[in-house]
Structure 1
């Protein structure tokens, strides 16, 4: 440790004070400090210390052999009176020099006890007596061990530093006074606070209160005899209802929450799906390659606002071909493999208006009449007639934009591109359009409960992990990503990404833990699933619900996904309670009466409303 500089005394004379400083050649004896190890006392510097007073009687509380005063005066502090320091040209003996008696009481390395007029210390005249100093309540320690609280104001008032000293301002003088005063502080009346302050967290809701509020509603006959509920405090992560929360159920639309979370984790919210056109094997041949964008539109009148358009792609192709007229269109939808309908789908799903054949190339979600579908959607009906071969349907629309006859459209594969291929060579890119960002696609899927978009996004999870873009590859990839997110996947089964398959198995706890994960901020990309959740009595699939007198309190307070198959009903989402808490909840039943669709929906709405109105205290 280097010596610490302390205020100058007179005319630039420097006083040193450091508990571990010892001049060269000093053994510690006669210095007022320790003689073993590192010095623990202060070492007087001859040119700065006046004559010392004789040692007082040993303190009764000190160790044997310790003859230091019980309350030493301020170290290195000259008492009141006039002192003369050596003139600038006058030599001053250095501490620890060979002259004199090393370590002796009167030598250059000593304490200057024999100093007087003309003595080795270079001081002339006898200093006046110090102001009386009453011992402090607590013995000072540290660098200011020589100070005592009652005497420092009087001493400093007598020793106001001259203009040549480094303490040129009253503020710095007061700072030194505070350091001296701190060596003997008064007992503080202020309450001591620890730092950092303790984290303030809300007490979690008592589980018994939530169960007491929900039990009468869960036992409603409209929900059947196999109902399981999971409720989680999103702030604390605590589980409030657990009976059957890990039991796996057949689910429908709530599977889309897992699809959205896994594709956001695998692809990222900014990922876009490309649709490309490349040159074919013969001049004039154009190959349209599907990348899996289900929202691709033919023109500005597409079903999905802001979607990529084939007419823009056709203009790029015409520009790239120059004077060569297109003569043939080949549709490459080989990105997807396996069947176009999932195992476990009901027979009426492909033709019932809520599902379609899943291919890598399609326009407007495989809707045959986008204009009519938009009008029905605005009226609250999400069903729409779908085409049987979505990829060929898109290829024919693209051919018309290029001026190619529709009978010149066929399925095929794009030619391989060699390393030295030029822009006009076989396989060279002629144009590309990009889909909406992934976060927007997830929002469309959840808010409109779009099954076709859900199947396309599930395949994006498989592609991101290098797996086959099929129903099987998508389900396995979703399960793997869910496990990487820390969700409970034991016994989890995904037969598709939309939840239409009756082979799906999912537990209420997975849904509520997913909601808590999306809300705690640890995975910011997952929080975007909340933006697509329908609002009770206001948007999406909940726009016409929560109209029952017992469920009106949930209007605007519940955001949730619902799902319905024959005998299977589910709801999962978030709700703000009466005391301002955010809860994640999931209610699943798969043995409801087959003819009680409306009654089951009302019963589910009442459960969510009970949470919204519950203080649960």
Structure 2
């Protein structure tokens, strides 16, 4: 979002899944999993022969005296994700949506996470609104479904020796988080995966070139993986570069300029220049400047670096509302499903994925992956259905979508929100925020005081500009009310 519009940052398998989601809502567990500590611990534990039935069954290391493990009582009421909700209680919890600060167009949908139907729908079935960044829930689901949570994207170098001089080509594979150098992760976030970087790629490439007896190369770069416009026609001019840079299959630091420099007009060229500098520092002579080219059929791969997984990228883009990462994943979804890595290819892929999973679009249309487009329209029931799909035992590959949602009062874009409504809502709600001028929205999951799991989407897109902060507070109060109610 533009700087002045930026989201505020100061029974069976179903019952097993529901209980796990309740625990995930608790702040401590959320932080442990989002930082990756618990996941690494679990992976290391499972790497041994056999998986213990309980952490208490793991023997201590030799010569270490530890007290016996005492398993505490339940930390949350066991949830029933399929239980019917009390429409009157839900309506009462959402009373803040009646605030005049939200403007004259407020729509919402609430239903059981693992059930069907809606306990509350403040809209006609086909009523839609500008979703802003809640769009990223749909984008993340499409990427996880079409690409798989373990998919990664490689940035490579290839060498063509068929010409008069060896020609090295830097090939963009659509890594949204490719960095200039190691350790250039964003500070201040709960979770930031380890990124690939062009310095490491240059080091590996230089080593391979020396082994091949090559010390001087011409340099080309190939960013042809994605097609179509790099900037959506409906984006406001001020969004570039404040909120996103021209989308490219090859860039460093999401196309952002170095301190003191102006906007980057060609992110792929900037990435190639950064790579050339690193290559020169490692004793490889680069003759001339980098030029845009395509990979010759006779080229041989020299080196590669690999992005974080799709699951990790989705977790980050949901937590910090990363516009650039969302747009890159939309293009990858388009490539996987439509053979076209563009805005339009991504749009068609998302629509097909939703309808193929039985989700009625209800008049919804999404033109980008980030939600920056004010032409996007989304029905709240679609967001509820996507969240239900992610919770379904039939689609475990979508679970990172729920795990990546910020926790109210603790992480990401909700770290400093929901501090005016019912205190019980803090830590019981996980949601994606959405903010544009005149637009405020929230969509996510909640566990109420009775242990019921809910999916919800709250949207208002006729908010007066001077009421923006008050509107966010009213919507936060409504979402917190869902966490505090006995629904």
Q: Tell me how far 1:202 sits from its aligned partner.
A: 6.0
Contact 2:126 2:362 in 1 (8 A): no
Q: Cα gap change, 1:311/1:608 in structure 2, threshold over 3 Å: closer, same or farther?
A: same
Match of 2:198 among 310, 319, 323: 310
Give the structure 1 partner of residue 42 of structure 2. Answer: none
Higher strand share: 2
Give the structure 1 partner of residue 316 of structure 2. Answer: 444
SS in 1 for 2:251: coil
Q: Tell me how far 1:287 sits from its aligned partner.
A: 0.5
1:539 counterpart = 2:411: yes
1:558 counterpart = 2:429: yes
Q: Cα gap change, 1:201/1:474 in structure 2, threshold over 3 Å: closer, same or farther?
A: closer
Contact 2:338 2:349 in 1 (8 A): no
Q: Tell me how far 1:385 sits from its aligned partner.
A: 8.2
Contact 1:533 1:573 in 2 (8 A): yes
Give the structure 2 partner of residue 580 of structure 1. Answer: 451
State the distance in 2 between where 1:347 and 1:390 align.
17
Give the structure 1 partner of residue 181 of structure 2. Answer: 299
Contact 1:359 1:391 in 2 (8 A): yes
Q: Cα gap change, 1:269/1:406 in structure 2, threshold over 3 Å: closer, same or farther?
A: farther
Any unmatched runs of 5+ in structure 2? 1-79, 186-191
State the distance in 1 between where 2:286 and 2:224 align.
23
State the distance in 1 between where 2:474 and 2:422 align.
9
Contact 2:106 2:122 in 1 (8 A): no
Match of 1:287 among 163, 169, 172: 169
Q: Summarize deviations over 1:520-540 as a string: whole Å, max 9, x none.
A: 312111111112111111110
Contact 1:232 1:513 in 2 (8 A): no
Give the structure 2 partner of residue 366 of structure 1. Answer: 255
Contact 1:521 1:527 in 2 (8 A): no
Which is further off, 238-247 or 600-609? Answer: 238-247
Give the structure 1 partner of residue 114 of structure 2. Answer: 235
1:399 counterpart = 2:276: yes
State the distance in 2 between where 1:468 and 1:201 align.
38
Q: Cα gap change, 1:406/1:474 in structure 2, threshold over 3 Å: closer, same or farther?
A: farther
State the distance in 2 between where 1:339 and 1:495 align.
12
Higher helix share: 2
State the distance in 2 between where 1:390 and 1:228 align.
39
Give the structure 1 partner of residue 220 of structure 2. Answer: 330
SS in 1 for 2:140: helix
State the distance in 2 between where 1:447 and 1:285 align.
41
SS in 2 for 1:497: coil
Q: Pairwise mapping of residues 36-115 of structure 1 onto structure 2 (< 5 A)?
A: none
1:250 counterpart = 2:130: yes
In terms of Rg, which structure is larger?
A: 1
Q: Cα gap change, 1:612/1:305 in structure 2, threshold over 3 Å: closer, same or farther?
A: closer
Contact 2:430 2:446 in 1 (8 A): yes
Give the structure 2 partner of residue 567 of structure 1. Answer: 438
Q: Which structure ranks higher in relative contact order (CA pairs < 8 Å, sequence separation ≥ 6)?
A: 2
SS in 2 for 1:505: coil
Contact 1:467 1:473 in 2 (8 A): yes
Q: Summarize deviations over 1:182-204 as a string: whole Å, max 9, x none.
A: xxxxxxxxxxxxxxxxxx99641
Q: Pairwise mapping of residues 369-388 of structure 1 onto structure 2 (< 5 A)?
A: 369=258, 387-388=264-265
SS in 2 for 1:570: strand
SS in 1 for 2:291: strand
Contact 2:314 2:401 in 1 (8 A): yes
Match of 1:217 among 86, 96, 100: 96
Q: Summarize deviations over 1:529-567 as a string: whole Å, max 9, x none.
A: 11211111111001111222x343321111100111111
Give the structure 2 partner of residue 409 of structure 1. Answer: 290
Provide TM-score, normalisation by structure 2. Answer: 0.77
Give the structure 1 partner of residue 379 of structure 2. Answer: 507
Give the structure 1 partner of residue 31 of structure 2. Answer: none
Give the structure 1 partner of residue 244 of structure 2. Answer: 355
1:470 counterpart = 2:342: yes
Contact 1:467 1:477 in 2 (8 A): no
SS in 2 for 1:261: helix
State the distance in 2 between where 1:307 and 1:473 align.
27
Q: Cα gap change, 1:406/1:279 in structure 2, threshold over 3 Å: closer, same or farther?
A: closer
Q: Tell me how far 1:461 sits from its aligned partner.
A: 0.5
Q: Cα gap change, 1:433/1:529 in structure 2, threshold over 3 Å: closer, same or farther?
A: same
State the distance in 2 between where 1:212 and 1:206 align.
10
SS in 2 for 1:253: helix
* RMSD of aligned alpha carbons: 2.1
Q: Cα gap change, 1:203/1:442 in structure 2, threshold over 3 Å: closer, same or farther?
A: closer
Q: Summarize deviations over 1:428-477 as a string: whole Å, max 9, x none.
A: 21122211111101111111100000000001111112432111111111
Q: Tell me how far 1:241 sits from its aligned partner.
A: 0.6
SS in 2 for 1:442: helix
SS in 1 for 2:143: helix
Q: Tell me how far 1:407 sits from its aligned partner.
A: 5.3
Contact 2:158 2:300 in 1 (8 A): yes
SS in 2 for 1:205: coil
Provide TM-score, normalisation by structure 1. Answer: 0.61
Q: Tell me how far 1:209 sits from its aligned partner.
A: 2.8
Give the structure 2 partner of residue 61 of structure 1. Answer: none
Q: Cα gap change, 1:202/1:360 in structure 2, threshold over 3 Å: closer, same or farther?
A: closer
Give the structure 2 partner of residue 389 of structure 1. Answer: 266
Q: Tell me how far 1:252 sits from its aligned partner.
A: 1.0
Contact 1:286 1:326 in 2 (8 A): no
